[in-house]
Every structure is written in C-alpha cells, then in structure tokens.
Amino acid sequence: NPFSSGSQITSLGHNGFEVSLNYISGIPDPNIILDPHLKVIFKSLMKKDHTTKEKVLNELLQILSNGSSVHMLDDLVVITWVQLYAKLSIDSSKNVRSMSHQVQSRFVVLLGKNYAKYLKDTTPLWLTGLFDPERLVSKTTTTSLIDAFKVQEKVDSLWIVFHKQILNYCYQFLKFEQKDTLSDERFVGKEKAELKFIRVCSCCLRILNHLIQLKNLEMDDETTKDFKKIFKIDQLW
C-alpha cells in the first residue's frame, strides 16, 4: 500500500511493473518488443531531443490510426508504452505532452477491454492533461478522452472509478518527486527543470482539488485516510 506509514514505494504501477514520473526509475526496455518497427519507435521515444520525440509520436499515431495495427499491440508493447507515457505526459515540450495523450487514446480505442487493466496505471496521467497550463495540451486531452470513451458521462466516471489511483498519483508526486528527479539538469538546465516541476505540481494540486469537490465521491474511511495522508505531507505546505 503506497499510503502506508513509512512507505518508500514510488511507483504508479498496479500491474506488476514499475511506472514512474521521474527519469531514474520505471525505465522501459524496448528490446522486449518483438515487432522491429515498434521497437525502433519506442527506442526513439526515449531520446532526449524533443524534435525526435515529436516526429516519432506522430509516426506512432499514424500507425495506430490503422485498425489493422491492433495485432502488433501485445502486452509487451503496452507495458513499454505505459512506462513511456508516464515520462512523455509531463515532458517539457507541449507537443510531446499533447501527442502522448492522443497515442494513449488510440491504445484504448484499438485494444478496448484488453487495455482495461492498464487504465489503473494511466488514467491519472491522462486526467492530469486536462489541467495542463498549455491550452493545446488541455484541449487535446479533452478530445482524446471523448474519442476513447465516446460520451462525457463515461469520462466523468473515471474520476470515481480510479479515485484511489489518482490519490496515489498525487501522494507519490508530492511526497517523493523534486525538480531534480523529474529532470536531469545535465541535459535540461536548472530553469527548465524548475518550470517543469512547477507545472506538474500545479496540475497535481488541481486534480486533487477537482477530486475533493466531486459530490458523488464516496468518502469512506479508506478514501478519507488517503486524503489525510496527502495533507500531512510536509512538502505540500
């Protein structure tokens, strides 16, 4: 339980593999992917150059726009994507963040129920995009959610169904992450690292605030306890 006292678990994963916002842990291994084309694509998405990532994400979107590509998307591909999505969804480039949410949507559309178990890992990342300060990202996220779930009611239900995972996302970020865990300043620079941390922190607080205000969220003992754990985090104050 990531909320347990003294816990040092920093994973957002719920399916037996590590998922993390920072650049230190939850690193995917594209070599596990069997399809050679997808293997190259995912390796390229791990590069630090924004232009490369934008180009490759666009290429991946084109592949996923073809319904026949579903046969390529086995569990190893999905696991690699989920680990990458955690990094790409908070990338310094607004275009990378925007396209990462579009790719996430395509995975859900193509795989349907076969992707359901991975929603625990990815829904908090996805919903965070709704509160991105860049209008391009927030608008694209809204569209990507509707594309995947078709009606607003189903999108709204994500907050209830995955509220525990959302709370875990907020806890993990506020408790464990810092600007030098989200970014490697050897390649990013202090100013960009600071801006990235502030942006992610702002989004985190906004999704937490949104969750608090949900009238249909049942505040049972466990949920109340999870909220209290977050509010006791020193870094929050």
> Looking up tokens 């989920």, which residue turns up?
82
For residues 62 and 103, the answer to whether their CB atoms sit within 8 Å is no
**What is the pLDDT, as a whole number, of residue 3?**
43
pTM of this prediction exceeds 0.85: yes
Please report how many Cα atoms fall inside a 13 Å half-sphere around the Cα of residue 27, on the Cβ side.
8
Please report how many Cα atoms fall inside a 13 Å half-sphere around the Cα of residue 59, on the Cβ side.
14
What are the residue ranges in the chain where pLDDT is below 50?
1-9
Q: Alpha-carbon distance 145 to 140, whole Å?
A: 9
For residues 33 and 76, the answer to whether their CB atoms sit within 8 Å is yes
What pLDDT digit, counting tens, does each position of 95-107 carry? 999 999 999 999 9
Domains of the chain listed by start with CATH number: 30-236 (1.25.10)
* Cα separations in angstroms, 200 against 58, 64, 78, 191: 24, 28, 24, 14
**What is the pLDDT, as a whole number, of residue 10?**
59
Q: Alpha-carbon distance 74 to 12, whole Å?
A: 21
Q: Alpha-carbon distance 11 to 104, whole Å?
A: 19
CA 196, 134, 86, 223 torsion: positive or negative? positive
**What is the pLDDT, as a whole number, of residue 7?**
39
CA 89, 107, 114, 216 torsion: positive or negative? positive
Residue 68 is given by DSSP the state G
**What is the pLDDT, as a whole number, of residue 236?**
77
CB atoms within 10 A of CB 68: 8
